[in-house]
Chains A and B, each alone.
Chain A
Amino acid sequence: MTTSISKLAWRNLWRHKRRTQLLLAVVAYATIAIIFFWAYYDGFVGVLLGGQARYLAAPVMVQTEAYYTDPDPENALMSLDIEGELASFEGVRGVAPRLEFQALMRSPYRTLGSQVRGVDPALEPQVSNIPGDIGEGRFIENTGEIVLGIDLAEELDVRVGERLALDVQSLGGSQGAGLQLVGIIDSNILPVDEGTALVHIDEARVLTGVDTATGLALDIRQGDEKRVAENLNAASLLPGGIVAYPITELLGSLMSGIEQKRGSMIPIVLMIALFAAVTVMSTVIVSVIERTREFGVVASLGLNQGQIARMVTLEAIYTTFIGFAIGAVAGFALTALMTATNLMGPFINSFYGRYLSGMAISDQFVFATSITYLLWAAVTIVIAAVLAIVVPGRRVRNLNPAEAMRAN
């Protein structure tokens, strides 16, 4: 009998095509909305983290605790002996030393103070996207060279091929150098274009009097930063006072703000699911009212009220499930299409790049993908089923077949 009711419920879907199509559209739309919402939100977080990791900081930075608190070159790493072991650690794809310091940059027209980063040009492309964003000229290759962000170069009014003077307060006193501008970075990311100044790490060592580096940047796959950093800190690899900091920790309070924000999004998603489920339920109620006579006939043919109620509930569940399947395919296809065409990238970069100054917001937006988004959308099915049992199902259970057959 159960099989017969299931078959009846299934056939009823296609007997009332317009109603079924409406229900499918509502559930599919809600599913698409939920998938799109989480894919966009997590994608945005990914853009923030990825931008910070690949433009401003690093996926994981190995540095002294003293430097983390007080980023002064005097708190640099004592030695770089751990480089080899770090490179072969599980999850680490590459290691690049960095030496960061404050400097005064002088052109004939302007003088600006700025943070300068000394890098190894052979290793830096592993951990940073900046070397790939040279808009004019080339990346540094030797000492005596410097690359600047495009906005910084414009402010100093210095062109590729011209010399810039750099003054630094080093551990041994004041140092100065004349460096040739060999390349200009044009990343379309505000803090990068306004604040990036890169020199060869050997140049940085001469200028600062530091023989090593202020940190070792590790190339880690996005999403694995925290795990790899925890494993590194737990292993007896790093000397005392040296810690591996994942990008999530380097972001500090911003990261905890992002996580809290995600939690506050959950009620919104539940509201979308509830809205869709209530719509399904409303449509089912209308359907039950309109089909009262039909139910009377069916009851007279041998089905009891409980079985009719079960049939109505199954109709709601089938509709919701099919709508969910359509919405899931369409939702993931939509986010994949949006990623491939990068329709959101320029907007996100333009709007949030100015709004969130100091954050590296790329103009390439990748929607996130996760099976958990389907679970959130599946909540719709559950709520719809529950509501269908409670409200229209109850109406059907209380049906009087004789009265129902006389209904209009």
Chain B
Amino acid sequence: MKSALLTLTLLFTLGFASAQEDATSVIDRIIDNMRGESQIATLEMTVIRPDDEDTYTMRIYSEGEEKGLTRVIAPPRDAGQAFLNDGDNVFIYNPRLKRVLRLPPSGQSDSFLGSDISYDDLAGDDLRDNFEASILEESEESITLELIPNPDAPTPYGKVHLTAEKPSYAPTTIIYFDQRDTAVKENILSEYAEVEGRYIPQRFEVKDLLEEGNMTVVEWQDADFGVEIPEACFSQNALEREGVCE
């Protein structure tokens, strides 16, 4: 009897450890899919509200998770604005003011060009390091992870549900829940392009689930991956001067 109990406990522990390991490796594969490559791309961002719709065209240059420069090309009223991510710092250039400003923490709460995406979202909320992952659902076509934040994780969310397709592990949906079990934000990633074994989303929707009809859609118009981008592109000078990154 005792040995049977011991065997059951061992099997359960191993099984549990195995599931934990799977969830961790799955999240690694999903995150690695989304990031890493350098890229130069043209994006179209549409901010949708119940009674209005605005579209922006932007040129982005990014390298890994830490560095990125975004320049607004259209519409004319916003053209010339540029944003630089340098680690956790965000810098803004406004052509009317002809000045580069570092966004203080209070400013990083502001939404990016009035969209449902904040400057903070551009810097990234690290799902890998701040959350404990477990498998919620799994089928042959997809896998859904439930991510619970660590007690001291710098995130206000109660949990995150991350769904990815199989076998590519390209993420398709990320749903953010508050601490009262209500879904507050949904990110939908689609139209994947395969680049050297990675699956990069070409369409990104952000839905504000608390405000009906509020949504932001970002679509890649063209993109080059794995390109070499001059280091000077990720400097405050590059914000003011076009052409540094090409």
Task: Report A's interface with B, CB cutoff 8 A.
Answer: 102-104, 106-109, 111-114, 144, 158, 162-169, 173-174, 176-180
Are A103 and B105 in touch, CB under 8 angstroms?
yes
Q: Which residues of A contact B130 (CB under 8 A)?
A: 178
Question: Is B149 positioned at the interface, with any CB of A under 8 Å from its CB?
Answer: yes
B210→A102 contact, CB < 8 A: no
CB atoms of A162 and B179 under 8 A apart = yes
Are the CB atoms of A165 and B156 closer together than 8 Å? yes
From residue 186 to 241 of chain B, which have CB atoms closer than 8 A to chain A? 210
Across the interface, name the chain B residue whose C-beta is closest to A169: B105
Report the minimum CB–CB distance from A274 to chain B (whole Å). 56
Q: Counting CB contacts under 8 A, is B109 at the interface?
A: yes
Q: Which of B99-145 contact A (CB under 8 A)?
A: 104-109, 118, 120, 130
Q: Are A177's CB and B178's CB within 8 A? A: no
Contact, CB under 8 Å: B156 / A107: yes
- List the 8 closest pairs (A to B, CB-CB), nearest first: A113-B106, A176-B154, A111-B109, A174-B88, A104-B105, A108-B178, A178-B153, A165-B156
* Whole-angstrom CA separation of A108 from B158 in the bound complex: 9
Cβ-neighbour of B104 out of A113, A144, A158, A166 (below 8 A): A113
25 A–B contact pairs at CB < 8 A? A102-B106, A104-B109, A104-B120, A106-B120, A106-B155, A107-B178, A108-B156, A108-B185, A109-B184, A113-B104, A113-B105, A113-B107, A158-B156, A163-B149, A163-B153, A163-B156, A167-B105, A167-B154, A177-B154, A178-B150, A178-B152, A178-B153, A178-B154, A178-B155, A180-B151
CB distance from A239 to the nearest CB of B (A): 31
Closest A residue to B182 by CB, please name it.
A108
Q: Does B169 contact A (CB under 8 A)?
A: no
With both chains docked as a complex, state the minimum distance between the C-beta of A97 and any C-beta of chain B, in angstroms: 23
Contact between chains at A177 and B152 (CB < 8 Å): yes
Given known pairs A109-B184, A173-B87, the reply for A164 and B156 (CB within 8 Å) is: yes
In the complex the two chains form, is A109's CB within 8 Å of B210's CB? yes
Determine whether the beta carbon of A111 is less than 8 Å from that of B118.
yes
**Contact of B157 with A by CB under 8 A:** yes
B87: shortest Cβ distance to chain A, in Å? Answer: 7
Tell yes or no: B176 within 8 A of A by CB.
yes
B89: interface (CB < 8 Å)? yes
In contact, A178 and B104 (Cβ under 8 angstroms) = no
Contact between chains at B154 and A104 (CB < 8 Å): no
List of B residues within 8 angstroms of A144 by Cβ: 151-152
State the Cβ distance, B22 to closest chain A Cβ, in Å. 26
Closest to B183 in A: A108
For A165, the chain B residues whose CB sits under 8 A away are: 153-156
Contact of B105 among A102, A108, A177 (CB under 8 A): A102
Given A108-B156, A108-B185, A177-B154, 14 further pairs, Cβ under 8 A: A106-B120, A108-B157, A108-B176, A108-B184, A109-B184, A112-B109, A113-B104, A114-B106, A144-B151, A163-B151, A174-B89, A178-B151, A178-B152, A178-B156
Cβ of A240 to closest chain B Cβ, rounded Å:
31
| Chain A residues in 8 Å Cβ range of B118 | 111
Closest to A101 in B: B105
**Known contacts A104-B108, A173-B87, A174-B88; A109/B153 CB under 8 A:** no
Q: How far is the CB of A175 from chain B (nearest CB, A)?
A: 8
Instruction: For residue B207, give the distance in angstroms from its CB to the closest CB of chain A.
Output: 14
**In the bound complex, what is the Cα–Cα distance between A104 and B107 (angstroms)?**
8
**What residues of A have a CB within 8 angstroms of the CB of B185 in the complex?**
108
Chain A residues within an 8 Å CB radius of B158: 108, 163
Shortest CB-to-CB span from B42 to chain A, Å, is 29
The residues of B that contact A113 with a CB separation of less than 8 Å are 104-107, 109
Check B109 against A178 for contact (C-beta < 8 Å). Answer: no
Q: Which of B89, B130, B152, B185 has the largest count of A CB atoms less than 10 A from its CB?
A: B152
| CB–CB B109/A106 < 8 A | yes
Residues of B within 8 A of A163 (CB): 149, 151, 153, 155-156, 158, 179
